[in-house]
Structures are given as C-alpha cells and as structure tokens.
C-alpha cells in the first residue's frame, strides 16, 4: 500500500496545479492538447514512481497518419493509464455516461472529446456513441476501448461486447488489436494496492471493418488476434 499511497500523492500534487491552469485554458481556446499532454506526462511519472516497466511489441502495425481504434483486453485498472500513455498522438476513449456527471472530471472529459456510453444494450445508445466516435476520428483523434466491457476477474478473456464493433462498422476506421498482460498481477481486480513489475503490450496488424460482412465476423477475428498475443492461460 505504500507504493499506492506514493503514487496517489504524486498524482494529486501534479494534477491540481495543472488542472487549475489547463482546464480553463482548454475551455477558452477549445484546444485540449496541452491538457492531454499534461495528463500523459503525469501518468508516466506515476508509472515510473510505481516501478512499472512497459515493454511494447508491434508498434510498426499502428497506421501512420490515420486515426485508428485500439481494441484491447482488460485485466486491471492499470490498463487504461498504461496503454493510453504509450499510444502515439492523442486518443479519445470510452467512458460510462455516469462518469461525465462528476464535477470537473466530466467537464475535462468533454473537453478531451471522450465518448460517453450507456450499458443498456439499446441500438439508439450504440448509434449515439458511434456518432461521437465519428466526430472524434474526424478530428484525427485515436479511440481506445476495452472490448470485454469490464475487467476480467482472473486474467482470462471474457466475451466481447457488441457495441465496439457496431462503432467500428459505422465509422470504418482501422481497428488495431492490442494484447495486454502483466497488469493483472500488479493491480488485481478488487485491489487498490499497486506492485512494481513489468507490463507487456502487443500491437497487432489492424483489421479493416469493410472486410467483414457482420459484426460477429469482425468480433471473432479481433478475439483471435488479441488472444494470439496473450499467454496461453489467459485465452479462454
């Protein structure tokens, strides 16, 4: 818990002055770039303080000069900060609509073009999220999502949600499969404790939604790609 407490202190000490200056600046200029850059900088410092080392493979698969959708498995609360802080350019991400109602945080997420989603399974909700994603991609922002919809309790892959693939088919953006492992032992589900250690991120060749007749076909191809970069025990 000492490491977790130290990380928390570092984040608070760095984030408060950055937010006080950069959130109003982003609201005035409508440019969230400096705010995003500060967030990435603080995240990387926090990971360093926590003793978390990130190894990456397959970065050559990331499309150059075109906004993409990164689809990853999800095993820990560390996954979003670890992955997003090591992606090129600026990325948007999917967040529950309830998060957008949190004061200051919700405002900052909107400034950053993050995408709200409802977990109600309705087609209307999926279309709304897809429209927000299309606007983010048009601004040349990447999109990051964890296609299982929730963290795996034991590290093994869960069934994928259909919403991300509806979004992919609607936007037509290249979708990069991402395999993450190591975080499941550094911060397990249900734990607030952070342990130092190594995280592995594997980027795979992007999938083109136009090459698949249905969401289910693309979902199966995405699952096979992500699973191929995971240890055998994590594949269900």
- Give residue-wise pLDDT tens across range 57-97: 999 999 988 899 999 999 999 999 999 999 999 999 888 88
pLDDT at position 233, please?
A: 95
What distance lies between CA 92 and its chain's CA centroid? 8
3-state class (DSSP) for residue 195: coil
Report the pLDDT averaged over residues 166-185. 95
CA distance 40 to 8: 15
Domain boundaries, the chain: 54-234
| Strand, coil or helix: 212 | coil
> Of how many residues is the chain composed?
236
pLDDT at 126: 75
Round to whole Å and give the CA distance between 120 and 152.
20
Q: What is the pTM of this model?
A: 0.91
d(CA 17, CA 95): 24
Using pLDDT thresholds of 50, 70 and 90, give the confidence band for residue 148: very high
Q: Could you tell me whether strands 175-181 and 197-203 are parallel, antiparallel, or unpaired per DSSP bridges? A: antiparallel
With tokens 């892959």, the residue in question is: 157
Phi-psi region of 17 (alpha: psi -120 to 50; beta: other; left: phi over 0): alpha
Note the pLDDT of residue 94: 83
Q: Return d(Cα 223, Cα 117) in angstroms, integer.
A: 22
Does an H or E element contain 58, and which?
Answer: none
How far lies 219's CA from each of 7, 69, 75, 80, 173, in Å?
36, 14, 19, 21, 15
Helix/strand/coil for 154: coil
119 pLDDT band, cuts 50/70/90, is: low
The CATH number corresponding to 54-234 among 3.40.710.10, 3.20.80.10, 3.40.50.620, 3.40.1130.10 equals 3.40.1130.10
Q: How far apart are CA 224 and CA 69, in angstroms?
A: 17
């Amino acid at each position: 818990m000492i490491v977790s407490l130290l990380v928390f202190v570092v984040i608070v000490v760095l984030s408060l002055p950055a937010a006080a200056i950069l959130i109003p600046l982003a609201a005035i200029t409508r440019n969230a770039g400096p705010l995003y850059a500060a967030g990435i900088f603080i995240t990387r410092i926090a990971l360093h303080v926590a003793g978390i080392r990130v190894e990456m493979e397959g970065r050559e698969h990331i499309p150059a000069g075109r906004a993409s959708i990164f689809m990853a498995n999800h095993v820990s609360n560390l996954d979003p900060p670890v992955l997003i802080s090591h992606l090129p350019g600026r990325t948007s991400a999917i967040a529950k609509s309830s998060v957008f109602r949190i004061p200051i945080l919700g405002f900052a997420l909107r400034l950053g073009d993050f995408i709200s989603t409802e977990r109600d399974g309705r087609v209307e909700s999926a279309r709304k999220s897809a429209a927000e994603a299309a606007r983010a991609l048009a601004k040349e922002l990447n999109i990051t999502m964890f296609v299982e919809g929730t963290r795996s309790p034991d590290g093994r892959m869960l069934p994928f949600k259909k919403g991300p693939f509806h979004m992919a088919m609607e936007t037509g953006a290249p979708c990069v499969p991402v395999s993450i492992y190591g975080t499941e032992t550094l911060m397990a589900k249900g734990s607030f404790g952070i342990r130092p250690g190594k995280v592995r991120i594997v980027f795979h060749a992007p999938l083109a939604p136009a090459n698949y007749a249905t969401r289910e076909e693309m979902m199966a191809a995405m699952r096979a790609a992500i699973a191929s970069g995971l240890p055998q025990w994590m594949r269900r």
